[in-house]
Chains A and B, each alone.
Chain A
Amino acid sequence: MKKTILALLVFLALALMTAGAALAQSGNPGEPTDDQVNAIAKQLYCPVCENIPLDVCGTQACAQWRDLIREKLGQGWNEAQIKQYFVTQYGDRVLATPPARGLNWLVYIVPPMAILAGIYILYRAFQSWMRPPAEVDVKAAEPVPPPADDYVLRLEEELKKR
């Protein structure tokens, strides 16, 4: 009996420890996880540290921004709302991908168009390279006799007479 109670106590203690560790890893229930914060942070760039995505940027400014994302997620904001908030506060340049409006459309249209044009040019070039050279029409290539000249004709006649 004692052995059973002891085994139960050990089992309970282990279960509590495991649950505690799991809880510690996930933080407080309801609080956004680091993964959730970083999923949004990696789509943003702080203007102070150009070319470093927010999720891996080590400056204090970026840490504050990540805290802000966590706070907004905790308040129930979704990804689009948070990104819009950052755009309103700091401008379009914080976004990793420019919004598809105005001149920004060029970013999305020009590269595919240039690739398609390149493919077409290559296709035409390959076609002309693969085409066998056109056969030369011998007849057509023969020199055409020059049109008869009255003076030459008369000269030839005079020569024949002699």
Chain B
Amino acid sequence: MPTNTTETVAAEANVRARPHWGRILVWVGVLGLLAILALGLRRAQQGPITVGDTVPNFALTTFDGKTINLTDLKGKVVVLNFWASWCKPCEQEAADLEAAWRLYQPDGKVVFLGADYVDTEPEALGYLKKFGITYPNGPDLGTRISQAFRIRGVPETYIIDDENVLRSVQIGPFSSLSQIQGMIDPLLGQ
């Protein structure tokens, strides 16, 4: 009998020492899944670009095929306006934005960019023609730029200084040309 007992104890010890590969695999899977979820949540919780932040580079391809990179515009103030042809409030500020562009264009110190958000090209081109908009405009392809800024709707306008730092944000339409000037002029030292 003592021999039997010794064998049983040895067998139990053997079972205890053997790794439970199934359990290990399940735990690795669960931990991996949690890690992926954590990364996703972290990315989702990254807030919008706030005033004072350096704006990450983005590329806007205009309706006439030119690609404009933000980093290439260092040294200039950039006025980035999100709009859409289906957006009625955008129409309220369209003429003022164009007037502001014409005002600053001769100096070459300010660049206006229009990012067309979730729109169709024929309607967008019709909108630009209707309001006589001449500054560079292009579709926000894949909604990449609007997602980077985490816009809440259109229109929204972001004023970026000559060092690519976000200096002010306008949610909703501008009410007048002087309001636009009031946001740009301080960045030009005026």
Contacts and interface: CB of A to CB of B under 8 A. Distances in A.
Interface of A: 46-48, 59-61, 64-65, 67-68, 87-91, 93, 103, 106, 110, 113, 117
Given A91-B143, A103-B36, 16 more contacts: A46-B118, A47-B118, A47-B143, A59-B86, A61-B86, A61-B118, A64-B85, A64-B119, A64-B123, A87-B142, A88-B142, A89-B139, A90-B143, A91-B147, A93-B143, A106-B36
Interface string B79-96: 000001110000000000
B144 interface: yes
Q: Give the contact-size bracket for chain B.
A: 10 to 19
A93 B143 CA distance: 9
B142 A90 contact: yes
A39 B120 CA distance: 20
B188 interface: no
Residue of A60, A65, A89 with most chain B CB atoms under a 10 A cut-off: A89
A76 to B, nearest CB: 18
Nearest to A60: B86
Contact of A61 (B29, B33, B40, B119): B119
Nearest to B139: A89
B141 interface: yes
Residue of B26, B29, B118, B120 with most chain A CB atoms under a 10 A cut-off: B118
A65 B142 contact: no
- Shortest beta-carbon contacts, A-B, top 6: A60-B86, A91-B142, A61-B86, A64-B120, A91-B143, A68-B120
Interface in B128-171: 139, 141-144, 147
Contacts of A88: 141-142
A110 B33 contact: yes
Contacts of B119: 61, 64
Residue of B29, B84, B139, B143 with most chain A CB atoms under a 10 A cut-off: B143
Contacts of B84: 61
Contacts of B85: 64
Contacts of B33: 106, 110
Contacts of B139: 89
Contacts of B26: 117
Interface in B6-55: 26, 29, 33, 36, 40
B169 to A, nearest CB: 20
Contact of B142 (A48, A68, A89, A106): A89
Contacts of A65: 120
Contacts of A47: 118, 143
Contacts of A59: 86
Nearest to A103: B36
A73 to B, nearest CB: 15
A28 B40 CA distance: 48
